[in-house]
Amino acid sequence: MGREFNRRVSQLKSQPLLIRLLWRALSIPDAGPEISDRIVAFDAQTFQRQPVSKEAVVNEFLLLENRTAAEIARSLPEKSEGMLDPEAMDRLLIKVHCEMQRLSEEFQHGQRVAEVLDSLLQSLRDNHVRPPLRIVDIGCGTGFVIRWLTRHKSLGEDVELLGADYHPALIEEAARLAAAENLSCRFVVGNAFRLAQPATIYISTGILHHFRGPDLIDLFSQHNRESTCAFLHFDFHSSSLSPFGSWLFHKVRMREPLAIHDGVLSAVRAHTPQKLLSAARSGAPEFVSAIYGTRLWRLPIPRAFHSLVGVRPPYRSDFLSRMGRKVNVLGVIE
Partner 1 sequence: MTAFLLWFLATLDGAFTGYREAAGRSALIDKRRYFRRAMIKGALFAQIAVVIAAVVVIVSIMLVTDGQDLVRAYDRAGAHMLFIYVPYAVMMLVGFLFRLIPSVDIRSITSTVIFGPFTLIRPVVAVLGLAYGIASAARPATIIPGLIVLSMMLSLETVLTFWRKQA
Using CB under 8 A as the criterion, which residues of the chain lie in contact with partner 1 when the complex forms?
97-99, 101-102, 106-108, 111-112, 115, 142, 144, 147-148, 151, 173, 177, 180-181, 183, 245, 248-249, 251-255, 296-297, 304, 329
Q: Give least dist CB 75 to partner 1, A.
A: 19
Shortest Å distance, C-beta 114 to partner 1? 9
3-state secondary structure 169-215: HHHHHHHHHHHHCCCCCEEEECCHHHCCCCCCEEEEECCHHHCCCHH
Q: How far is the CB of 152 from partner 1 (least distance, A)?
A: 8
8 A C-beta contact, residue 310 and residue 288: yes
Q: Kindly tell me which of 148 and 231 has the beta carbon lying closer to partner 1.
A: 148
The smaller minimum CB distance to partner 1, of residues 101 and 228, is found at 101
End-to-end CA distance of the chain: 29
Query: At its nearest, how many Å lie between partner 1 and the CB of residue 178?
Result: 9
Q: Among residues 99 and 126, whose Cβ is nearest to partner 1?
A: 99
In angstroms, the CA 249 to CA 168 distance is 29
**Which of 70, 323 has the CB closer to partner 1?**
323
Containing H/E element for 292?
A: strand 288-292
Tell me if 80 sits within 8 A of 201, measured CB to CB: no
Least distance CB 168 / partner 1 (angstroms):
17
Q: What is the DSSP string of 121-175?
A: HHHHHHTTPPSPEEEEEET-TTTHHHHHHHHHT-S-TTEEEEEEES-HHHHHHHH
* Shortest Å distance, C-beta 54 to partner 1: 26
The residue among 150 and 200 lying less far from partner 1, judged by its C-beta, is: 150
Find all residues with CB under 8 Å of 298, minimum gap 6, and list them: 328, 331
Of the pair 194, 298, the CB lying nearest partner 1 is at 298
